[in-house]
């Protein structure tokens, strides 16, 4: 088992991509109900590489502070087609917020609360998440890797799947296939339609601060909020690194 933990909340069916207006509404509700801070946060977007090999410079080029008032127009800017909204939480800040998972670690708490949005599918890379079939009906392979020599990708430790086939113009639905996802704590597994593919997800990156429990999950109240906001069911996937 790894020493860092991440967990995703993904809409069943994989294809779901909320409008910018719907995402703004979700952020407002998350703030109102105490899941994320009313201020702060950053946006991480995919950008072309122009900063050499310096990791700090590359990260800075892809990151910008969230505006004081998040708007649909800001989210819909073509430069933010692939986007992570990130609220880092640690120390005193954690004491004033509702913890997003079902069990809180004893002692110091640190995590990042993230909302992901992309036009193509994002697919987390993990030893406990099998790949989902990603070949178009015409035979074209739709899975891809972001070329880090050309871009700084918004999504870390992830591959992608094109939502539309360039060869035949068919749209692709990962939920036509399934992938095995393993619980990193007890080794149990289940087959999930669409695997871990998503165009929208809520992600909690716990880093090294988490409870090693096979029953670890999102806080039920947080899941209920997201499902109510979008009127659909979500599935949970966790991975340790």
Got the DSSP string for 136-167? -TTS-B-EE---TTTEE-SSTTEEEE-SB-TT
Instruction: Give the pLDDT of the chain (241 residues) as one tens digit per residue.
Output: 458 999 999 999 899 999 999 999 999 999 999 999 999 899 999 999 875 667 677 778 899 999 989 999 999 999 999 999 999 999 867 888 999 999 999 988 999 999 999 999 999 999 999 999 999 999 999 999 999 989 999 999 999 999 999 999 999 999 999 999 999 999 999 999 999 999 999 999 999 999 999 999 999 999 999 999 999 999 999 999 9
| Joined tokens for residue 17 | 């991509």
φ/ψ of residue 67, rounded to 5 = -65, 155
Residues near 166 by beta carbon (within 8 Å), at least 6 away in sequence: 140
CB 207, CB 7: distance < 8 Å: no
Would you kindly state where each structural domain of the chain is located, as residue ranges?
A: 5-240
Q: 240, 5 in Cβ contact below 8 A?
A: yes
**CA end-to-end distance (rounded Å), the chain:** 7
For residue 93, the surrounding DSSP H or E stretch is helix 92-95
Q: Are 82 and 119 in contact (CB under 8 A)?
A: yes
Q: Coil, strand or helix: which one is 220?
A: helix
- Neighbouring-strand partners of residue 190: 181
Q: Given this model, what pLDDT does residue 108 score?
A: 86
pLDDT of residue 54: 73
């Amino acid at each position: 088992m790894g020493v860092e933990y991440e967990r995703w909340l993904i809409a069943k069916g994989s294809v779901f991509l909320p409008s910018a207006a719907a995402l703004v509404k979700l952020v407002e509700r998350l703030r109102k109900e105490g899941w994320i801070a009313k201020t702060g946060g950053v946006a991480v977007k995919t950008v072309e590489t122009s900063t050499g090999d310096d990791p700090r410079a590359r990260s800075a080029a892809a990151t910008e502070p969230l505006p004081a008032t998040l708007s649909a127009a800001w989210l819909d800017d073509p430069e933010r087609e692939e986007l992570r909204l990130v609220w880092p939480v640690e120390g005193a800040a954690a004491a004033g917020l509702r913890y997003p998972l079902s069990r809180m670690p004893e002692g110091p708490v640190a995590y990042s609360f993230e909302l992901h949005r992309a036009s193509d599918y994002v697919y987390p890379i993990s030893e406990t998440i099998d790949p989902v079939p990603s070949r178009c009906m015409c035979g074209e392979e739709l899975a891809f890797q972001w070329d880090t020599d050309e871009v700084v990708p918004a999504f870390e430790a992830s591959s992608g799947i094109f939502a539309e086939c360039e060869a035949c113009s068919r749209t692709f639905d990962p939920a036509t296939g399934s992938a095995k996802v393993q619980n990193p704590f007890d080794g149990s597994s289940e087959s999930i339609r669409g695997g871990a593919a998503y165009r929208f997800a809520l992600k909690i990156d716990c880093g090294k601060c988490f409870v090693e429990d096979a029953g670890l999950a999102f806080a039920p109240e947080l899941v209920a909020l997201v499902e109510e906001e979008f009127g659909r069911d979500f599935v949970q996937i966790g991975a340790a690194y």
